[in-house]
A and B are shown apart, each in its own frame.
Chain A
């Protein structure tokens, strides 16, 4: 046996000191001399009380008092019988609160059905079982640590709300097993619609299993899904800047559908609130439909792209919308630092700048550091004394080592008839005819593990690219001017352009919207985040914020983005063979098991009656 609230028991049990003190310092009876003692003796039925019997009565009275206090304290401390060795001691109620639990089957949402199911089953749980309430979506959250108070448990269960986040069962199950093993044997009630981890009713694991520590843990899958789960939802929306067309985006859209029959739906595309596209889709059950749409950015502001599916009798509305912020177009600002401008490089940069997507700045080494910040700095045959950490870096013909770059110049140059491409799929080599490249290597470069070689010659890499501390760096270990073939090919402007855009990509992304899935965590410097539709400003308690709702957001200091569900696992609603079946819990209930408070109360009452009878009816001092 143990107490549900031991602190309460200890607090009230301390009152036994009072009767003990009263017993030790009890007032002596008033002594009265009398001439009519025989008449008083008539009143007292007992005439033969001995001293030891009187002391025994006092002691018995003290013991009665202590017993009553302890019984009352036990009742307040909720004395419960300890479960048997083979009975469940810990119950973990693991409730799926991922987006699919918001699906409405009939008139009841799955989360409400789950809560009702748990509430009904909790009624059969003995009081001595510690209950943990755990809710999960993409991450588990302990809503109530191990508690014996069923009211707390019921409140914790009732407080579970669906979050528009995809589910991830593995960490939740791991945590649940850890919690269930706190006091074994343990049991886990996994209440779900099967969205996070598709299981059927027949797959319920009701056989005890041992966790890592060898403790027995029984897992019971409780499904709340309906038999019909017709749903259609957007499962992907991704913006991609078109190569060499930085003001043009391609939006990749994917729509999934679940159900028993093909689903017809309509997709509306709105840009800044205006309908710009409309598609009719027919999707097979469990199938998908993927397509791309073009979205143009503007120079003056971000654009807000909203996708919305229209479908009758759709079970889950959370996946019917998806949002994305289209970044404002801004020309890439490139600063070219060189002592003697290379005409081939100048020609390549000029051709890029001529499209209006690139703003070219040129300076000599004496102009370093620049007054205006650039997105990309192109060091040509020169390096500053201190590695610039702010901008993206492209180094051509490095004169020596600096920062992560380890380079040694080759004064005479080393002609290379050909180079070997290590990673032909690297974005830096998009459109570049590597097989026809012949360059003169002017520096031996060592990436030090941070820069990965893309072109390798006889004396080592001549083209390296990599990212260190969020800064992208490209190193060209050759001189175009001294190379015979490369400057005359179209591959060179492509290579330069790719190098500039690839290195600047993180900065461009940061400047544009952060379009993420719900549940993702973003880092913000601001102390609040402002959500749109509905407009709400939420204070942040740290540098990170979890995107736990669907819609557009922005921070007061500039960063902005969007969050959408975009989860095929949630959109493909699972269907159960027998919907909402309420099974009985298998907790054993014995008359003397569980909460002993009623027994303690009756015992206290019996003690009071016995004490009253003995000391007020039977025994008269």
Chain B
């Protein structure tokens, strides 16, 4: 079921994003300058401030005129304009559309929102999809003019098959596409929940900041099934019969909660931002909240 542009592109919401921008946790040696100011000092023509010279500073930055007047050495600090690459890895497996299609809507809108934010800040944006294999959906895009292309690509994205999460993330090489920010949007179920942490561990090899947004449906966390149930896996078509009782439901919720905790712990150990996103949450507020709490995203 293709997603319509109206579902993905809410102009009012995107206008709210104009006041936000990405922010890296630590300054990196940027190879290309963009139009987003950073707290770091750079070599642009926009003067920002003076700072007392300390050994090791670039002596070319010493303001000699000020030295002549004050007999003390200060260096001039110019505002640095960053440009980095935002990689959005979107899960396109069948579990993102079945049995709860809300997950695909939420994931697609997240991708659009992130991409819009990046394009707005003149960063480069790449959309890649995770499935049986990693697939690039767009070439690196820059500028808001690529929004229609982006929307078209995401709307026509086919969700099917299984997710080889570990293989896909191992295959991903952000260094080839320059350093920047990697945003993984997935339910992280993959072939087995036990492999989620292993997949996350792949992010430590990337020279980029990684943000993981796990899209979940409330029914996946707290199913309401009861009685004799014939379960069919949406990705593998594997069939299992189970007799669900309240006791089994409680055990399920407990196991799922432990799984989420384990995942969060694994991300925290690797300085990866992890954000579980339930589809029943108000999208806009949750999105803004997500931007506000993360280091990579900040208000202007």
Answer yes or no: B26 CB below 8 A from chain A CBs: no
- In angstroms, Cα B98 to Cα A31, docked, is 14
State whether B189 touches A35 (Cβ < 8 A): yes
Q: Does A42 contact B (CB under 8 A)?
A: yes
Q: Which of B99, B236, B241, B256 has the most CB of A within 10 A?
A: B241
CB of B100 within 8 Å of the partner chain: yes
In the complex the two chains form, is A39's CB within 8 Å of B242's CB?
Answer: no
A44 within 8 A of B: yes
Cβ proximity bits B187-205 to A, threshold 8 Å, 1 near / 0 not: 1010011000000000000
Interface: B238 (CB within 8 A): yes
Query: Which residues of A lie under 8 Å from residue B262 when comparing CB positions?
Result: none
Residues of A within 8 A of B232 (CB): 31-34, 37
CB of B268 within 8 A of chain A?
no
* Inter-chain contact B242/A35, CB cutoff 8 Å: no
Take A29-B241, A621-B243 as given contacts and tell me if A39 and B193 are in contact as well, using a CB distance cutoff of 8 Å: yes
> Which single residue of chain B is at the shortest CB-CB distance from A51?
B239
Q: How far is the CB of B120 from chain A (nearest CB, A)?
A: 33
Q: In the complex, which residues of chain A have a beta carbon less than 8 angstroms from the beta carbon of B243? A: 620-621
Are A40 and B252 in contact (CB-based, < 8 A)?
Answer: yes
Q: Please, how many angstroms separate the alpha-carbon atoms of A377 and B238 in the complex?
A: 117
CB contact under 8 A between A35 and B220, given known A44-B240, A620-B242, A620-B243: yes
Instruction: Assess whether B192 is in contact with A38, with CB atoms less than 8 Å apart.
Output: yes
Asked whether any CB of chain A lies closer than 8 Å to the CB of B230, the reply is yes
Contact flags (1/0) for A274-292 with B, using CB distance below 8 Å? 0000000000000000000
Q: Which range contains the number of B residues in contact with the other chain? A: 20 to 34
A32 to B243, CA, bound (A): 12
User: Which one of A29, A35, A42, A49 lies within 8 Å of B187 (CB-CB)?
Assistant: A35
Report A52 CB to chain B, min CB distance, Å. 14
Q: Hey, which chain A residues are within 8 Å of B255, CB to CB?
A: 39, 42-43
A151 contacts the other chain (CB 8 A): no
Is B233 an interface residue when CB atoms closer than 8 A count as contact? yes
Q: In this complex, what residue of A is CB-closest to B225?
A: A32
Number of interface residues of A (CB under 8 A): 22
Provide the residues of chain B in CB contact with A32, threshold 8 Å.
99, 225, 229-232
Asked whether A54 lies within 8 Å of B241 as measured between CB atoms, the reply is yes
What sequence of 0s and 1s flags, for each residue 1-31 of chain A, a beta carbon within 8 Å of any chain B beta carbon? 0000000000000000000000000011111
Q: Kindly list chain B residues whose C-beta atoms are within 8 Å of the C-beta of A617.
A: none
Distance, CA A44 to CA B240, complexed state (A):
9
Give the residue of A28, A37, A42, A620 whose beta carbon is less than 8 angstroms from that of B231: A37
A213 within 8 Å of B by Cβ? no
On whether the beta carbons of B251 and A43 are closer than 8 Å, the reply is yes
B10 at the interface (CB under 8 A from A): no
List residues 233-279 of chain B with CB under 8 A from any CB of chain A: 233-236, 238, 240-243, 248, 251-252, 255-256, 259
Q: Bound state CA distance, A398 and B94, in angstroms?
A: 131
Proximity string of chain A (220-233) to chain B, C-beta cutoff 8 Å, 1 when within and 0 when not: 00000000000000
The residue of chain A having its C-beta at the shortest distance from the C-beta of B193 within the complex is A38
Query: A412 contacts which chain B residues (CB < 8 A)?
Result: none
Set B99, B193, B227: member contacting A34, Cβ < 8 A: B99
**Does A40 lie within 8 Å of B240, measured CB to CB?**
yes
A466 to chain B, nearest CB (A): 96
Interface centre among B192, B231, B243 (most CB of A within 10 A): B231
Interface residue from B99, B229, B252, B259 paired with A35 (Cβ < 8 Å): B99
Task: Provide the residues of chain A in CB contact with B193, threshold 8 Å.
Answer: 38-39
Q: Does A385 sit within 8 A of B, measured CB to CB? A: no
- Name the one of B98, B228, B259 contacting A29, with C-beta atoms under 8 angstroms: B228
Residues B83-119 near A (CB distance < 8 A): 94-95, 98-100
Tell me the complex Cα distance, A35–B107, Å: 16
Kindly report which residue of chain B lies nearest to residue A34, judged by CB atoms.
Answer: B231
Asked whether, in the complex, the Cβ of B220 is within 8 Å of the Cβ of A30, the reply is: no
Q: Using Cβ atoms and an 8 Å threshold, which residues of chain B touch A39? A: 193, 252, 255-256, 259
Cα A54 to Cα B98 with chains together (Å): 28
Assess the B252–A621 pair: CB atoms within 8 A.
no
State the CA gap A96–B243 with chains docked (Å). Answer: 68
Closest to A26 in B: B228
Residue in chain A with minimal CB distance to B94: A35
A439 to chain B, nearest CB (A): 116
| Residue pair B230, A34 in contact (C-beta under 8 Å) | no
Complex interface: chain B residues within 8 A of A35 (CB): 94-95, 98-100, 187, 189, 220, 233-235
For A620, list chain B residues within 8 Å (CB): 242-243
Identify the closest chain A residue to B96 (Cβ): A35
Choose from B100, B189, B248 the contact partner of A38 (Cβ within 8 Å): B189
- Residue A541 is within 8 A (CB to CB) of chain B in the complex: no
Pairwise interchain contact A33-B241, C-beta atoms closer than 8 A:
no
B228 touches A37 (CB 8 A): no
Q: Check if A43 sits within 8 Å of B229, measured CB to CB.
A: no
Enumerate chain A residues within 8 angstroms of B233, measured Cβ to Cβ: 33-35, 37
Contact A621–B231 (Cβ < 8 Å): no
In the complex, whether A202 has a CB less than 8 A from a CB of chain B is no
Contact partner, B229, options A27, A29, A38, A54, Cβ 8 Å: A29
Cβ contact within 8 Å between B229 and A30: yes
Whether the pair A34, B228 counts as a contact (CB closer than 8 A) is: no
Given contacts A33-B99, A35-B189, whether A43 and B242 have CB atoms under 8 Å apart is: yes
Q: Measured between alpha carbons, how far is A387 from B18 in the docked complex, in Å?
A: 144
CB distance from A276 to the nearest CB of B (A): 97
B229, A41: Cβ atoms under 8 Å? no
User: Across the interface, do A29 and B252 meet the contact criterion of CB distance under 8 Å?
Assistant: no
Closest CB in chain B relative to A26 CB, distance in Å: 9
- For A41, the closest partner residue in chain B by CB is B240
Q: Are A30 and B230 in contact (CB under 8 A)?
A: yes
In the bound assembly, the distance between CA atoms of A54 and B241 in angstroms comes to 10
Nearest to B256 among chain A residues (CB) is: A39
Q: Check if A36 is an interface residue, CB within 8 A of chain B.
A: yes
Q: How far is the CA of A620 from the CA of B248 in the complex (A)?
A: 11
Kindly identify, within residues 198 to 228 of chain B, every residue whose CB is under 8 Å from any CB belonging to chain A.
Answer: 220, 223, 225, 227-228
Q: Does A36 lie within 8 Å of B230, measured CB to CB?
A: no
Residues of A close to B242: CB separation below 8 A: 40, 43-44, 620-621
- Bound CA span A33–B251, Å: 20
Chain B residues lying within 8 Å of A49, measured Cβ to Cβ, are 241
> Which of chain B's residues have a CB closer than 8 A to the CB of A29?
227-230, 241
- CA–CA, A44 and B248, complex, Å: 9
21 examples of A-B residue contacts, CB within 8 angstroms? A30-B229, A31-B230, A32-B229, A32-B232, A33-B233, A33-B234, A34-B231, A34-B232, A35-B94, A35-B95, A35-B187, A35-B235, A37-B231, A37-B238, A38-B192, A39-B256, A40-B242, A42-B252, A43-B248, A620-B243, A621-B228
| Known A32-B231, A34-B232; 13 more pairs at CB < 8 Å | A30-B227, A31-B232, A33-B231, A33-B234, A34-B233, A35-B95, A36-B256, A37-B232, A37-B238, A38-B192, A39-B259, A40-B242, A621-B241
Nearest 4 CB-CB pairings of A with B: A35-B95, A29-B228, A37-B233, A29-B230
